[in-house]
Chain A
């Protein structure tokens, strides 16, 4: 901005503006972006609730029958760890420790990437056994199991089960992937020495996004896998 002042605090709003929300542009932008993300996932989860509990008289497949809870529980743990390492990265740079910040950021990226990898494995595994967006594939292992035990496998609602499962977890996975790519961008900038105690906006903003993605996952894990 115009007025050249001796010290510009970039972690505060731009000068010489009227201070309303005491937050710099990028962070405020991330806040409103996350507000729209909240609405996105609310609509998605709301649709799931309507379809599962409103429209259909038949129960859904019991937890653990089609989806593996163990492997996803590990994935959830991984994502929570990555939130902790993200906090560590932020705390390090706020203290001025650039080196430690890079380490923790790298840990976060690796956790996120592993999460996506495990999710890809889960998808291929499920599709291999016959679970796909349109329900149980005819002639597949799961279709036969469902024919033999229609209630625990939710034979009547498999179509909606597949539709909602792949859409919700797919969109979450997409968000994690975007997060990993963005964190890699931040990491490259960190390697080029762009972040310091005085200016670590990138770390803070990507951290906000990352915590949000983790939070959404905890909700999704609960309602999609556990209930």
Chain B
């Protein structure tokens, strides 16, 4: 069963490193698709009255761009690093539940494919109600086609993948740490993975409920969001944003974790105020639950609710600001090596700070009423999620690429990539602040020349295509170094954490001997970490076994989703049968780690 070669071995693998690579490449393809959608949007908006796409297609493009980037690109790219790096950082041989891990991945792929399959059907009924799908636009009355059904069923399936991964990483980090690795010795990236996982397992059930109620409204005649029958469309907004704001931190905390690993390595200094960085991350995780209505100031929830949520929102900027000062102080007085990874990490600090500041601006309800639903908020979200998360993720790619592939990415192309992306990003999104304040609403497929935003929009489009070019540079870099790149060895950077003690890429069992840790920076403070103690019993080496059943079980979910899409009952039974068979065989399969 434990084949290690050929395509079959990739379908059955339960090795966290292989699953990490699968996550990475799948998510990167979705990242390219989402980016392509963004470029078409920008081409349409390059000049007033443009006709690159129709209004209907434009609605689908911005909806799918948002949904794809959040759920199919950024979250799974973070998950790729959770998978590959966390077990190595904590000194474990795998995750706690390897087959559940494979299941998460397959459910994610199939959910993403289902969501995007809507593009391929006749009349391409892709989702078109925005990435937060407000009720009651999503009701059967106003969205009669299958567009919204694809959206809600796809997200429902993706939720299963995220939840399963969340359970897995919490148990892995709490239970599989190497001896001596106390919680306050845990690398910051692993810490942020833990906080993110807790946010995932608590926030995703809420959107699951929101989507279930929507599904019942659309298929079974319930009235949850229908005002005509006493239902409440604002209930959707509450449920969505109670999920949605923690989701913001699900997207940003992993990037913060990556930056907290990259900066110390390339400044040759321990992270400034490790404890504060960790605790502020935990605090953000808690406070993230008390701010959701800042997305709803324009609903008119009343002065008391508005004031409270305004105050909590401004307050949450504090632990975030604390981290920024910690990162700056880490660089201060360090022996800085300006690698590509460090470029992206520093870019993250700068751009994320700008996004954070515009965030504090619309924490104030009167200001928000002017800014909401304009390009100003589009600028804000892209400074935090592109300038923040994407830059953080690229920092992680340049940093851990040698560990994952055995070869370094080229530094010259890496810096070209960085500068193209940095300039492109600011050209694309900074003008949007002004476009929004000048009154251009988002999500409208075109604008009149009299609005006076044509030049700014053209600049933004140029910036977007520069970002596209920078991604091409990255792909060229990947292609050129895949065989000819500099060989990494165990530790090309002189990192402090455990993943650098083992070969690149690591052997299937990761560690010959589980190291015993006595410090927060084991590689910088200890020698002979991986030396085999005299007379130690090595035990049987861990060989990750393979299993077909996670894949089989995962296939049941999209089949189940086909039942409402095709209005066929027997398909539901077929899907349930596949799912149950998969789980049943999985449960009775002998599998020891």
Closest to A45 in B: B209
Does A83 touch B at the CB level, under 8 Å?
no
Residues of A within 8 A of B208 (CB): 40, 43
Residues of A within 8 A of B216 (CB): 133, 163, 167
Asked if B175 and A28 make an inter-chain contact with CB atoms under 8 angstroms apart, the answer reads yes
Closest to B587 in A: A185
Closest to B224 in A: A163
B175 touches which of A20, A133, A162 (Cβ 8 Å) = A20
What is the minimal beta-carbon distance from A23 to any residue of chain B, in angstroms? 8
Instruction: Give 1 or 0 for each of B514-554: 1 = CB within 8 Å of chain A CB.
Output: 10010000000000000000000111111000000000000
Residues of A within 8 A of B178 (CB): 16-18
Q: Choose, from B21-29, B231-239, B369-377, B559-567, the stretch at the interface.
A: B231-239
Closest to B173 in A: A20
Give the total number of A-B pairs whose CB atoms are below 8 A apart.
153
Residues of A within 8 A of B175 (CB): 13-14, 17, 20-21, 23-25, 28
What is the minimal beta-carbon distance from A58 to any residue of chain B, in angstroms? 8
Chain A interface residue count, CB cutoff 8 Å, equals 47
Asked if A163 and B170 make an inter-chain contact with CB atoms under 8 angstroms apart, the answer reads no
Does B395 touch A at the CB level, under 8 Å?
no
Asked if B176 and A17 make an inter-chain contact with CB atoms under 8 angstroms apart, the answer reads yes
Give complex CA distance A56, B540 in Å: 65
Majority secondary structure of chain A interface residues (helix, strand, loop or mixed): helix
Residues of B within 8 A of A35 (CB): 201-202
Closest to B236 in A: A47
Give complex CA distance A36, B580 in Å: 22
Give complex CA distance A166, B202 in Å: 24
Asked if B514 and A36 make an inter-chain contact with CB atoms under 8 angstroms apart, the answer reads no
Interface core residue of A24, A32, A33, A181 (most chain B CB under 10 Å): A32
Does A50 touch B at the CB level, under 8 Å?
yes
Residues of A within 8 A of B459 (CB): none
Instruction: Give 1 or 0 for each of B194-229: 1 = CB within 8 Å of chain A CB.
Output: 000000011111101110110010001111100001
Asked if B232 and A50 make an inter-chain contact with CB atoms under 8 angstroms apart, the answer reads yes
B206 touches which of A13, A29, A43, A181 (Cβ 8 Å) = A43
Does A191 touch B at the CB level, under 8 Å?
no
Does A227 touch B at the CB level, under 8 Å?
no
Asked if B202 and A36 make an inter-chain contact with CB atoms under 8 angstroms apart, the answer reads yes
Give complex CA distance A37, B209 in Å: 11
Instruction: Give 1 or 0 for each of B71-101: 1 = CB within 8 Å of chain A CB.
Output: 0000000000000000000001100110000
A18 touches which of B179, B213, B229, B239 (Cβ 8 Å) = B179
Instruction: Give 1 or 0 for each of A1-16: 1 = CB within 8 Å of chain B CB.
Output: 1111000000001101
From known contacts A13-B175, A17-B178, A51-B231, infer whether A43 and B239 are also in contact, taking CB-CB under 8 Å: yes
Asked if B514 and A160 make an inter-chain contact with CB atoms under 8 angstroms apart, the answer reads no
Give complex CA distance A132, B212 in Å: 17
Asked if A40 and B209 make an inter-chain contact with CB atoms under 8 angstroms apart, the answer reads yes
B232 touches which of A13, A16, A54 (Cβ 8 Å) = A54
Residues of B within 8 A of A55 (CB): 230-232, 235
Give complex CA distance A131, B167 in Å: 38
B166-191 contacts to A, CB under 8 A, are 166-168, 170-171, 174-183
From known contacts A16-B179, A20-B177, infer whether A50 and B235 are also in contact, taking CB-CB under 8 Å: yes
Does B242 touch A at the CB level, under 8 Å?
yes
Does B55 touch A at the CB level, under 8 Å?
no
From known contacts A4-B539, A39-B202, A55-B230, infer whether A28 and B221 are also in contact, taking CB-CB under 8 Å: no
Residues of B within 8 A of A37 (CB): 205
Closest to B169 in A: A32
B231 touches which of A1, A16, A43, A160 (Cβ 8 Å) = A160
Give complex CA distance A14, B166 in Å: 20
From known contacts A56-B230, A133-B222, infer whether A47 and B209 are also in contact, taking CB-CB under 8 Å: yes
What is the minimal beta-carbon distance from A79 to any residue of chain B, in angstroms? 22
Asked if A20 and B230 make an inter-chain contact with CB atoms under 8 angstroms apart, the answer reads no
What is the minimal beta-carbon distance from B285 to any residue of chain A, in angstroms? 13
Does A44 touch B at the CB level, under 8 Å?
yes
Does B163 touch A at the CB level, under 8 Å?
yes
Does B305 touch A at the CB level, under 8 Å?
no
Does B593 touch A at the CB level, under 8 Å?
yes
Instruction: Give 1 or 0 for each of B573-593: 1 = CB within 8 Å of chain A CB.
Output: 000000010001001000001
Instruction: Give 1 or 0 for each of A111-126: 1 = CB within 8 Å of chain B CB.
Output: 0000000000000000
Query: Would you list 10 pairs from A and B whose C-beta atoms are within 8 A, ordered by A residue?
Result: A3-B537, A16-B178, A18-B177, A21-B174, A29-B167, A33-B201, A36-B205, A43-B205, A134-B220, A159-B231
- Using a CB–CB cutoff of 8 Å, the interface residues on chain A facing chain B are 1-4, 13-14, 16-18, 20-21, 23-25, 28-29, 32-33, 35-37, 39-40, 43-44, 47, 50-51, 54-56, 58, 132-135, 156-157, 159-160, 162-163, 166-167, 171, 181, 185
CB-based closest 3 A-B pairs = A163-B222, A134-B221, A40-B205
